[in-house]
Amino acid sequence: MRFAKLAAPFKFASTQVTVLTALIYAIVFASVLIHDEPWDVPKDTQGLDIDRAFDALSEITRGPHPYISHANDAVRHYILSRLKPLAARHDHAHLSDDVTSNVTYVARGSYVVYFEGTNVLLKIDGTESSQDGVLFSCHYDSVSSAPGATDDGIAVVTLLEMAEYLSAPERRPRRTAVFFFNNGEEDQLNGAHAYFEHPWSNLTSVFINLEGAASGGHPLAFRTTSYGPASALQSRLVKHPHGTVLTSEAWSMGMIRSATDYEVYARGVEGEVPGLEGFDFAFYKNRAYYHTLRDSIPGMGHENTRKAIWAMLETVRGAGLTLLNGDRAGTDATKPVYFDVLGRSLILLSLNSMYIGNIVLLVLGPLSTIGLLIWVILAAKKRSELEAIPASHEEPRWRTIVKGLLGWERFWIALIIAILVHVGLSVGFLKLNPNIVHSHAYVVLSIFLGFSFLALVVPIQALHSILPPTFASQKLAVTLSLYFFTWIVLIVSTVAMSKQYGLLYWATFFNLGAWLAAVLELVRAGRRRDPGNEMGSYSFLFTSPEEQQARAEGVVPGRRLVRGVRYDAPEHIDNDAEGHANGRPGQEEGAIVETEPTEITPLIHQHRRQTEGGGEYLTVDPPEDVKVVAKPADEYGWWIAQVLLLVPAVAVLLFQLEVLLLNATMHTLVDGSPPVTVYFILALFSTLIFLPITPFAHKLPQSLNIVVAGVLILLLAVSWTIFPFTQQWPFRIYFQQFVELASPTSGLTINPARDVHINALEVVRAETTITGLKGYVDRYIVPDIPSSRHSDVVCNSTGLRPDLMTCTWTSDLLPSPGGTNSSLASEWLDVRPTRLNETRAIISVRGQNTRGCRLYFDRPVNFVYVHQPSDGEPLPPPAPVPAPVPFEKMHMQGGYEMPAEGVKEVRLWGRTWDKTFVVEVGWENANDNDEGLTGRAACEYAEYASALGGPESGRIPAYEEVKQFLPLWALPTKNEDGLAEVWTKFRV
């Protein structure tokens, strides 16, 4: 009795299984969700000043500060004011205010970029200067629609603090540290390209790039080039590592629509500077605020902002010190597989070692499992031969085969049902409310988890009740089926690793856990010399129908049946006159009478037994040893070890990934990403998370299913009916205004080469465009904008951004460039095209109070050269037309050369205001009737009144109108580099 009470908690029974599995999943879910939040700022920040960093962020994020804004200059001056004293105090610290590095390159293979950098660099000489240094990179520009607290203000203040920290003589590093504050990242990574034009770019071989792809939260090691830099995140100095190779490879496969300076550093400059090793460290949560006014300190909240600053500071310091002072320089180019465990530690392995480990598991696992299974079968057969009762008939083979398969099919049936349920559930969301995940992501997550649980558990329970396995216990059958499933997934993972993709690393641990659980189950069956069943203690695999019937009716395990002699009562008994039997006193009629032993009496004493079915047989067991066992034998302890092998580690790995991917994708639907991607992620990982409990599902109570189903019905009713966007998690629309200017007569600017006076330009039309999700931007947004009510609105489902609708209407709300002259005349946009010869032309373009312009061509050009002041004025009116620049003088950054088919766009970025860009272009002459080159010249504007610009700033009243009249559940963001583009046509 005492043993039974002590063993009760370890018994394989419904209550015990329910309590343990519920407890494990509750701990896993809670731990992951708690880890997903940023850590508190400690009292001891070990030399880093969090208050100073917070004050710096407040200064930087007073308002938006894109490259083409005067606020951008103010941020740059602030950074210089912080770094100049450091360089002045320490001989080993050197400041570079880089206003000389220019770069020309082809971006994305489709357009030429000319950029004049205004980057700021601080170099701290290492004590061992002969070794390669480490680049710490951030960008200090923001987009025109956001103050940029996360993108990239926190990174800026992090590097300012790290510069203060490492410049102290007692903390001077072994290797050289270069702190790079680049400008123009938001306009196609221009500042990073300019870095390779700076002489210090030859000093570094490793980089840490700090970014913000969302707003606040816990930053993530988004991607890494190789094992070397990833190992820095494994350092004991990094207290809370956060990263996974899955995001890195999703980015490399083009699944993430974004770009960071990482790409430029990792690629290097072909023929000049090799690519660097390093990693991207970026914020990724709360993307609904990305590039909007909520990417600010108030948007994140005071305390959460401090936590976000500390999260980045702590990791950058730990990883940075490891790279700067460690014995390994971080240049190991081996392909890595890495992931963190609850933000406490980072697991880092080389891809090759994971690949070899997978091969070992693929071979060793099946061999050992099959070997143990054969052992169990042979042991069961041997025991059956010792104990079997000769059968009076044989069962048909087909029936034996069918019975043998019962139990092995139910895992696969449950898996198929789970897949079908998730297909239906996803279709329901996609048809009824696809964007609900934007604002109620964790409700949707709970729904998918709940349906995964029911879809896997209920079929297994139903099959167990209707068709209980007879040839093996259900736990054994499902455990082996689960192992086979993980083995298949492991094959897929191994194939992916052979192609240098390690994103399915979790399959290795899933397979390992399933294999060990299967081994335990087979060892248990082998020790019992029987695979068990759900009808009695023994399998029906090697037993006759008679033995099966006897055992089902109460045969004792371990009992040997011996055929003996049955002694019947006399058929006729004489009664006396009073009706008593003539025999022994008290003997009743029909009683069994045992006679005196004779020569045929068995030497071993036998006991007579009667089955519950009415049959009778003899046994050598004494009465006190007889037990009824028409149910599975009790199991103690083994199942607990199997649960611990299967559930915790796998659930942590998978739920971490599910939550991370959910946070990274839940707000991308408003950018045009397909909703099916998010729901596929939820369906896949939710199913995988609950697969480990399938061997124990038949022990879970049905009352639990009823509770879960009730909660799911309520959550579904809410999530399929409520509006998907809220003030907390707002909808995002993309704004752009186009203003066309032209000559009053021809619609084209007049060619100065023909000695015709340039007339003042006039406004042809001003168009406001809003881009967003179809069904929302056209129904809820545009009708509420006052200027759209008095104009014809045209909505095109093929918009300015992929998968989004663009609505356009004309407006009389004209932008003002600001500066000293804001009139709509040739001073605002001055375009002068000049034909040099049959295939060359010079186009000069200047915009009032801007430093960003563009040229669009109606035909490809294959030569682009931007004249510099050192070249002399190429066309000072009325000077003669100069000779074309030699083709070889066109210099594109290595690896970003002009494509053979040419380009149709040139983007121009100057470091000074009101700059005149003088661009020489060339094209191929298609025929003798070539009419020359036509196109558009444009300049970009991004300053507006509510952005708190100075008196020299411009105004964009159309953007102010949209901001003012948007519903509370929507926020505006920029569509292009400029909020307003002013353009005119040209012909040469």
pLDDT score recorded for residue 577:
43
Residues 476 and 539: their CA atoms lie apart, in Å, by 12
Residues 785 and 375: their CA atoms lie apart, in Å, by 77
- Residue 556's φ and ψ, nearest 5 degrees, are -90, 135
Q: What is the pLDDT of residues 296-344, one digit of tens each?
A: 999 999 999 999 999 999 999 999 999 999 887 788 889 999 999 999 9
Residues 215 and 968: their CA atoms lie apart, in Å, by 19
- Residues 341, 344, 345: CA angle, nearest 5 degrees: 65
- Residue 115's φ and ψ, nearest 5 degrees, are -135, 130
pLDDT at residue 640 tops 80: yes
| DSSP classification of residue 740 | E
Q: Which two tokens stand for residue 329?
A: 């320089």
Burial 563-598 (b: 16+ CB within 10 A, else e): ebeeeeeeeeeeeeeeeebeeeeeeeeeeeeeeeee
In angstroms, the Cα distances linking 771 to 141, 385, 728 are 24, 78, 21
Q: What is the pLDDT of residues 647-704, one digit of tens each?
A: 999 999 999 999 999 999 999 999 989 999 999 999 999 999 999 999 999 999 999 9
Residues 686 and 712: their CA atoms lie apart, in Å, by 14
**Residue 619 pLDDT class (50, 70, 90 cuts):** low
Q: What is the pLDDT of residues 45-86, one digit of tens each?
A: 999 999 999 999 999 999 999 999 999 999 999 999 999 999
Q: What is the pLDDT of residues 556-567, one digit of tens each?
A: 444 444 444 444
Question: Amino acid identity of 950?
Answer: G
> Which residue has 């500060």 as its token pair?
65
CB 606 within 8 A of CB 618: yes
CA count, 13 A, side-chain hemisphere, 715: 22
3 state SS of 986: strand
CB 185 within 8 A of CB 139: yes
**Residues known to be catalytic:** 185
Residues 112 and 117: their CA atoms lie apart, in Å, by 16
Residues 122 and 125: their CA atoms lie apart, in Å, by 10
Residue 16, number of CB atoms within 10 A of its CB: 18
Residues 32 and 343: their CA atoms lie apart, in Å, by 9
Of 59, 75, 52, 61, nearest to 299 by C-alpha is 61
**Residue 429 pLDDT class (50, 70, 90 cuts):** very high
Q: What is the pLDDT of residues 249-299, one digit of tens each?
A: 887 776 677 789 999 999 999 999 999 999 999 999 999 999 999 999 999
pLDDT score recorded for residue 250:
84
- Residue 913's φ and ψ, nearest 5 degrees, are -80, 155
pLDDT score recorded for residue 802:
76
Residue 703, number of CB atoms within 10 A of its CB: 10
Q: Which two tokens stand for residue 101?
A: 């590095």
% of the chain with per-residue pLDDT over 90: 69
- The chain-wide mean pLDDT, for the chain, equals 86
> Which residue has 């000389």 as its token pair?
100
Of 219, 66, 54, 80, nearest to 147 by C-alpha is 66
Residue 299, number of CB atoms within 10 A of its CB: 22
DSSP string, 64-100: ---TTSHHHHHHHHHHHHHHHHHHHH-TTEEEEEE--
Residues 216 and 287: their CA atoms lie apart, in Å, by 9
% of the chain with per-residue pLDDT over 70: 82
pLDDT at residue 576 tops 60: no
Q: What is the pLDDT of residues 765-801, one digit of tens each?
A: 999 999 999 999 999 999 999 999 989 999 998 777 7
Q: What is the pLDDT of residues 78-136, one digit of tens each?
A: 999 999 999 999 999 999 999 999 999 999 999 999 999 999 999 999 998 778 899 99
3 state SS of 250: helix
Contacting residues for 711 by C-beta, under 8 A, at least 6 apart: 450
Residues found in the chain? 988
Contacting residues for 959 by C-beta, under 8 A, at least 6 apart: 735, 737, 944, 972, 979, 980
- Residue 716's φ and ψ, nearest 5 degrees, are -65, -45
